[in-house]
Amino acid sequence: MYIAVTGGIGCGKTTVVNEFRRIGLPCFVADEVAGAYYNDPGFVRQVAELFDEEILLPDGSADKRTIARIVFSSPEKLARLNALIHPRVWDDFEAFATRHRSSPYVIFESAIAYEYGFDRKVDRVVCVYLNREERLRRLEQRDHATRQQLEQRMRNQLSAEEKMLRADYVVLNYEGNPRARQVMHIHKQLLADSKTLIQ
């Protein structure tokens, strides 16, 4: 069974996924995997071919800041880049899931599971929720970014409330809320779900 863990940036996906990892579930972090593609010269070449601008640094590696600037200003170029990355991420996730097939379920962590239709490829979605103000506060500390930069990043995503409404399970990640207990509760539900799915 495939389980997506999603939620708005800064809501605490990473910390929630770590709880699942602590229970012993295999966890695939889409962002990390996609980021590592840039170490593959073949991939970097493919990305370079997508754009009419130079995106290679003198040492042949990809200039991620330039790529970010290009895709940020052009939805069409962002879509092209996504069309290159997302199918590869999904193939890698399926290979990962196959390697862990003895586990009752595997976790797919992605901030943009809904935005790019991964929700339709998984069996259940867990959304980590935290209101916008609190997320901004945590991100200012974590990323040392300005409010304006953070709000811009958030604008490309569905609202946290919309994600929560669509999800099968929700973790409310307010400070002081018992996160481990919420995750354990969802874990038990997921184990029950996995039995009904198999039947």
Nearer CB in complex with ligand ADP: 77/132: 132
Run of H or E residues at 169: strand 169-172
Stretch that binds ligand ADP, among 7-15, 91-99, 116-124, 163-171 (CB under 6 A): 7-15
Q: How far apart are CA 159 and CA 196, in angstroms?
A: 31
Work out which of 3, 4, 5, 13 binds ligand ADP, going by CB under 6 A.
13
Tell me how far CA of residue 194 lies from CA of 3, 105, 187, 191, in angstroms.
10, 7, 10, 5
Judged by CB under 6 A, does residue 6 bind ligand ADP?
Answer: no
Residue 133: burial class (beta carbons within 10 Å; 0-12, 13-18, 19+): exposed
Part in contact with ligand ADP (CB under 6 A); list of ranges 12-20, 42-50, 98-106, 188-196? 12-20
Backbone φ, ψ for residue 27 (5° rounding): -125, 130
> Which of 175, 196, 198, 199 touches ligand ADP (CB under 6 A)?
175
H/E element, 135: helix 132-143
Work out how close the CB of 35 gets to ligand ADP at its nearest, in angstroms, rounded to a whole number. 14
CA–CA separation, 14 vs 107, rounded Å? 12
Q: Which of 3, 4, 11, 25 binds ligand ADP (CB under 6 A)?
A: 11
Q: CA 45, CA 67: separation in Å to the nearest integer?
A: 13
Q: Which region, judged by CB under 6 A, interacts with ligand ADP, from 3-11, 57-65, 88-96, 184-192?
A: 3-11
Contact by Cβ (8 Å): 33, 137: no
Q: Considering only residues 127-146, where is the footprint of ligand ADP by CB under 6 A?
A: 138, 142
* Cβ 59 to ligand ADP shortest distance, Å: 30
Does 163 engage in binding with ligand ADP (CB under 6 A)?
no
Could you list the residues that contact ligand ADP (CB under 6 A)?
7, 9-15, 138, 142, 173, 175, 179
